[in-house]
Amino acid sequence: MSHWFASLPLTANLALFIGAAVVVWIAGTRLSRLADAIARRTGIGQATLGVLLLGGVTSLPEIAVAGSAAWAGNGPLAVNNLLGGFTMQVAILALADAVYRRGALTTAVPDPVVLLQGTLGIVLMSLIVAAVAVGDVVVMGAGLWSWAIFAAFLAALRMLAQAEGSLDWEVMGEPPSEDLPDVETPDYDTAGLVLRTAAVAAAIFLSGWLLSTTAESLAETTGLGQSFFGAVFVAIATSLPEVSTVVAAMRLRRYVMAVSDILGTNLFDIALILVVDLAYAGPAVLNEAGSFSILAGVLGIVITGIYLAGLIERRDPAVAGIGFDSIAVVVTYLGGIALLFTLR
């Protein structure tokens, strides 16, 4: 199918890319409002919804892209898309900080579950880096490391579900995001919420796949290596759902939900390594990765760690309303992209 898009004129691919981006943006914005309505109706916390609903749904484009790349025999592209997406999505929080513009965003996220989400993301990404460094062996159609990483992901989800509302931490001096004034959100019955959420998820899945496919066709003539392309351009394209949902959640003043969307999506993206490995016909897919993937994974760990430091400190100063931690993340991310370019 990607070959069919490659045969289209540049203007046709560009038009399809822009159209898909518009659909993703509208669907992502709608998803945040639906998630807020679900939180009100069910009483589920913003952090849990951010992981399970926003994180799961906005991971759908990565499923389509990474799965199809692995099925087509392009294991490195699939792996680097997931690793690059992890890092790109954390960098999106800097955009959320720019939308917030009342000081550092990390001072407005008092839920300790968010700290747990970020920490678990670092642990899972560290397992991928270790797997690439030491090598993998195939067991039941996928690498042993891939199975172990997926098992760790399931354990992380269970830990997060148990942690909601039960962590013995109390943040002083800042009201929870849930206590902010009400914002107008959809008022549907439960069946209506489920059906509309499913429709939005389908739109994000199809449009996200179209985004990445047309982006690949648009970039084919640039001469960039597949690893760099997967970690940067495809990752940016498949991260557009996160951008729209995060910006919408910020405008709803659901700050915990916005940050949990990013950290939750990253957990799902790491779990997709097993899907990629099962779809890949070659050896264990992490054996196809190398120093480029290790650097991409370490970059994701570093910028997640920067935000965790800001969330723990909660006194992060700001420049023009944007936190120092967000500025540090942007500088680190751009520097990491420059290093990745040398390894393409």
Domains of the chain: 2-342 (1.20.1420.30)
Average pLDDT, the chain: 79
pLDDT, tens digit (0-9, with 9 covering 90-100), for 247-282? 877 877 778 878 887 888 888 889 889 999 998 888
Backbone phi and psi for residue 318, each to the nearest 5 degrees, phi listed first: -135, 155
> Which of 255, 259, 266 has the alpha carbon at shortest distance from 297?
266
Q: Are residues 90 and 262 in contact, defined by beta-carbon separation less than 8 angstroms?
A: yes
> Which of 138, 80, 123 has the alpha carbon at shortest distance from 291?
80
pLDDT, tens digit (0-9, with 9 covering 90-100), for 25-73? 787 777 777 776 776 676 666 556 656 666 667 677 777 777 777 787 7
pTM as predicted: 0.77
Which residues neighbour 62 within 8 Å (Cβ) at sequence distance 6 or greater? 81, 82, 85, 208, 238, 268, 269, 272
In the chain, which ranges are continuous DSSP H helix?
Answer: 2-6, 10-42, 46-49, 56-58, 60-71, 75-100, 112-134, 144-163, 190-219, 226-229, 235-238, 240-251, 255-279, 291-313, 324-342
